[in-house]
Amino acid sequence: MKNNKHEYHRFLDEAGDTTFYGKGKIDIVGNKGVSKSFLIGMIKFKEPLENVRIKLLNIKDKVLSNIYLNSISSIKKKLNNDIFYFHATDDPPEVRMIFYDFIKSINCSFEAIVGRKIPAVFDKKHMSLENEFYADILSHLLKNKFATKSKLILNISERGSSTNNKNLDKALHIAQQRAILNRDNKEIITNISFNIRNHSSEPLLNIADYFCWAVQRVFERGETRYYDYISDKISLVIDLYDATKYENWGNYYGPKNKLNTSNMIK
């Protein structure tokens, strides 16, 4: 049935970049234009996707029909290109407020894996390859998704070679191996496939983008107000490479252990 697609569709986006080095293999993590972390997040809708799309279209119409908002340069630029979609990094504060209110109104949950960009880990664990770094983070997001007798279609935001079929298959294979170990070698019974999309053709990715951006602001700037506003819909955030918190699952964050300003990467 068409109206139950939300039960097996997920929507994935990322925030930050996977750059570690500049020319001469100089560490440029945290420099201007280079993030200190990279995260991949996944949103699960708990209401029919058609309902969410209609609500999202209404929000779009609200923004574009508002004289105050549609005169803002970033909005006008999108309109002039005949391609409009919501993107937290580019959207003005007034639009962000509207969009976060929209997120509060829908029934969904979000989880994310955050990878601090630590050159020593990158060199040893990922062989200094950005695609390996991406695949590792994605695999941790997927490793607990194999326990149900069903299928999952992962609508994932296109990101160059990181989301080519080979790299996505690699991430899925790593996730399967981790799932087998975590489940005492029990059979993998969930069929997972990828659907590579972009924000202009799949507007539901816009919602994943806003979640990712809110979480990233905590790690990059120690700014929690966006995260706090929608934290009731964020089920899990794993700070994957924060070895200082590994004891007692201290690097796992959720409703009872929320992110705060201390999570900012110094």
153 backbone dihedrals φ, ψ, rounded to 5°: -110, 120
In a domain, residue 53? The reply is no
Residue 93: its pLDDT value, please? 96
In a domain, residue 42? The reply is yes
Is residue 3 scored above 80 in pLDDT? no
Q: What are the distances in angstroms from CA 184 to CA 178, 179, 192, 230?
A: 10, 9, 20, 35
Residue 245: its pLDDT value, please? 95
What would the pLDDT profile of 141-182 be if each residue is shown by its tens digit? 999 998 766 899 999 999 999 999 999 999 999 999 998 887
Is residue 185 scored above 60 in pLDDT? no
C-alpha 46/C-alpha 130 separation (Å) is: 33
Domain count, the chain: 1
What would the pLDDT profile of 63-118 be if each residue is shown by its tens digit? 999 999 999 998 888 888 778 899 999 999 999 999 999 999 999 999 999 999 99
Question: Which among 169, 119, 107, 117 has a CA at the least distance from the CA of 142?
Answer: 169
In a domain, residue 181? The reply is yes
pTM: 0.95
Residue 1: its pLDDT value, please? 52
C-alpha 43/C-alpha 12 separation (Å) is: 6
Q: Residue 170: which residues within 8 A CB-CB, separation 6 or more?
A: 135
> Residue 190: which pLDDT band, with cuts at 50, 70 and 90?
confident
Q: What are the distances in angstroms from CA 62 to CA 76, 84, 201, 243?
A: 15, 13, 20, 45
How crowded is residue 62: how many other Cβ atoms within 10 Å of its Cβ?
13
222: left (phi over 0), alpha (psi -120 to 50) or beta: left
Is residue 129 scored above 80 in pLDDT? yes
Q: Is 1 helix (H, G, I), strand (E, B) or coil?
A: coil
In a domain, residue 159? The reply is yes
Which helix (H) or strand (E) is 42 found in, with range? strand 37-45
CATH code assigned at 181: 3.30.420
In a domain, residue 217? The reply is yes
The domain in which residue 38 lies consists of: 2-47+109-263
Residue 202: its pLDDT value, please? 95
Residue 2: its pLDDT value, please? 65
253 backbone dihedrals φ, ψ, rounded to 5°: -125, 140
CB-count burial class (<10 Å; 0-12, 13-18, 19+) for 239: buried
In a domain, residue 236? The reply is yes
Residue 225: its pLDDT value, please? 97
The mean of the pLDDT values for the chain is 94
Residue 219: its pLDDT value, please? 98
C-alpha 216/C-alpha 231 separation (Å) is: 13
Q: Which of 16-30, 66-80, 201-215, 251-265 has the lowest mean pLDDT?
A: 66-80
In a domain, residue 70? The reply is no
Question: Which among 77, 53, 79, 52 has a CA at the least distance from the CA of 64?
Answer: 79
Average pLDDT over residues 204-208: 98
In a domain, residue 16? The reply is yes
